[in-house]
């Protein structure tokens, strides 16, 4: 039987449960890049295989439910995880399978990115999946991180301005999660400053209070934005697993994604919107050489 040495090194273990992106810019592939670049150990459970590239999603194949459950059991029974990040769950049945397994393993720290639609417009879940998430995963989530399209789908109305974020966050918080981060990056490009809105529950003198914080940052002009939502949620998860408190983890994750967008502005990967550059700290990119 393997024993742990007193001098063994422990690093944050982050389990991503999400779909695979054959283009490498989002999904499980992006999650593992983020986790590794931030000093964590990435574990993965694949819920669906997507055929996609920078031009869009052309096919989705769900993984069998028993195989998803087996992956979760295999990872958690041996290696364990300090936190779970959930991304694409393409059907209500997959949502149910994941929720039951995480409850059975007693997972308490869960970052849920309710991925329901690709940037290209392809459906990655839909209304039934959204309803299943709200019922089964929101009550056990430490934080949910919807973008504007996802928050609109979950609430059944459009969010058109940062002025809408507070009420939307309150309504989403009432569905059960401990915290909500509404991401404002999908507002039209005339908004040169992005507002992300965080609302969370806290205990003060044995009483639960609700707190909020806005994160304002300049929009980075680039077409290479594929995978930003997956990357932000994975960064939040990794920072939380490393012991950062919530607002600090969110702030650091936003800064990480900003730096990745800035570093990836001039990358040429595919014919459509490419990914941010996750490995900027280790392999910096540079401006094109002038001829």
Catalytic residue among 227, 260, 264, 274: 227
CA pair distance 147, 27, nearest whole angstrom: 15
What is the rounded CA–CA span in Å between residue 139 and residue 143? 10
Pairing, β 193-204 against β 207-218: antiparallel
If we measure between CA atoms, which residue out of 157, 158, 156, 154 comes closest to residue 173? Answer: 154
Q: Tell me how many degrees the CA angle 54-56-57 measures, rounded to the nearest 5.
A: 125
Helix (H) or strand (E) holding 60, with range, is: strand 56-62
The catalytic position among 50, 54, 228, 238 is: 228
Our answer to whether residue 42 is catalytic in this structure is no
CB-based contact 85:18 (threshold 8 Å): yes
Q: Of the listed 13, 33, 109, 183, which one is catalytic?
A: 183
213 is catalytic: no
Q: Which residue among 229, 260, 264, 274 is the active-site one?
A: 229
The answer to whether residue 228 is catalytic is yes
- Catalytic: 40? no
Record the tokens describing residue 288, joined without a space.
Answer: 């094109």
What's the rounded Cα separation, in Å, for the pair 91 and 53?
Answer: 22
Q: Known catalytic residue: 126?
A: no
Active site residue 291: no
DSSP SS3 for 282 = coil
- Quickly count helices (H) and strands (E) in the chain: 8, 9
Task: 208-216: list long-range contacts, CB under 8 Å, 24+ apart.
Answer: 210/170, 210/173, 212/166, 212/169, 213/247, 214/162, 215/250, 215/251, 215/254
**Catalytic residue (one of 50, 54, 225, 238):** 225
Instruction: Say how far apart CA 46 and CA 61 lie, in whole Å.
Output: 11
19, 27, 230, 260: which is the annotated catalytic residue? 230
**Complete DSSP assignment for 195-260:** EEEEEEEEEETTEEEEEEEEEEEEPP--S--BTHHHHHHHHHHHHHHTT--HHHHHHHHHHHHHHH
Active site residues: 183, 225, 227-230
């Amino acid at each position: 039987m393997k024993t742990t040495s007193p001098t063994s090194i422990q690093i944050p273990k982050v389990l991503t449960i999400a779909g695979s992106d054959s283009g490498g810019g989002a999904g499980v592939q992006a999650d593992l890049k983020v986790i590794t670049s931030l000093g964590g150990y990435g574990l993965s459970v694949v819920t669906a295989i997507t055929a996609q590239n920078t031009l869009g999603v052309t096919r989705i194949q769900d993984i069998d439910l028993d195989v998803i459950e087996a992956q979760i059991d295999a990872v958690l029974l041996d290696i364990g995880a300090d936190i779970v990040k959930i991304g694409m769950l393409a059907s209500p049945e997959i949502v149910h399978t994941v929720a039951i397994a995480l409850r059975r393993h007693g997972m308490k720290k869960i970052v849920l990115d309710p991925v329901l639609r690709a940037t290209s417009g392809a459906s990655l879940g839909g209304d039934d999946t959204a309803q299943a998430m709200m019922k089964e995963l929101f009550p056990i989530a430490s934080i949910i991180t919807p973008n504007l399209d996802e928050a609109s789908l979950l609430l059944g109305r459009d969010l058109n301005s940062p002025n809408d974020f507070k009420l939307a966050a309150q309504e989403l918080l009432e569905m059960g999660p401990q915290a909500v981060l509404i991401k404002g990056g999908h507002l039209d490009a005339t908004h040169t400053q992005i507002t992300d809105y965080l609302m969370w529950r806290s205990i003060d003198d044995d009483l639960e209070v609700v707190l909020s914080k806005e994160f304002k940052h300049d929009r980075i002009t680039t077409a290479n934005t594929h995978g930003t939502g997956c990357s932000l949620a994975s960064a939040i998860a990794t920072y939380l697993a490393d012991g950062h408190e919530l607002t600090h983890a969110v702030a650091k994750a936003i800064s990480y994604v900003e730096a990745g967008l800035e570093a990836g502005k001039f990358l040429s990967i595919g014919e459509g919107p490419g990914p941010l550059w996750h490995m900027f700290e280790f392999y910096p990119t540079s401006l094109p050489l002038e001829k």
